[in-house]
Amino acid sequence: MLGPDQRQAKAADADFECTVLDVLARQPGFYVASWRTYYVARNGGVYLVRAPGQRVTLQEADDLPPDAEPVAAESRDVALQHIAAAIEAVARPQAGAEGRS
């Protein structure tokens, strides 16, 4: 027979909720899907870097679209190289930068 403390513990466990998201790990680099170009940073962040009507843009995305394909040709575009370098610089913690604003 369960004591009063054990019954409360079981009731608390029943209120527990967990959400699991299935996000695929991607290799860093450029990806293209539906006329849009994305960049995946070394830390796994995904960014929209080119969209129709915009030569260069920078918007954080939750994940790549399912139909995104890796492309090497985009890495030769100088504007996109600069955006990728900026993303990597911001994503990388700087030594001794704590507490600075």
Residues 43-83 have pLDDT tens digits of 999 999 999 999 999 999 999 999 999 998 777 899 999 99
Average pLDDT over the chain, rounded to an integer: 82
User: Which of 32-36, 73-77, 90-94 is predicted least confidently?
Assistant: 90-94
| Whole-structure pTM value | 0.68
**Which residue shows structure tokens 């969209």?**
51
Is the pLDDT at 99 greater than 70? The verdict is no
- Give the start-to-end residue ranges of the domains of the chain: 29-91
As a whole number of angstroms, the distance between CA 94 and CA 90 comes to: 9
Burial class (CB in 10 A: 0-12, 13-18, 19+), 87: buried
Vertex 44, ends 24 and 19: CA angle to 5°? Answer: 50
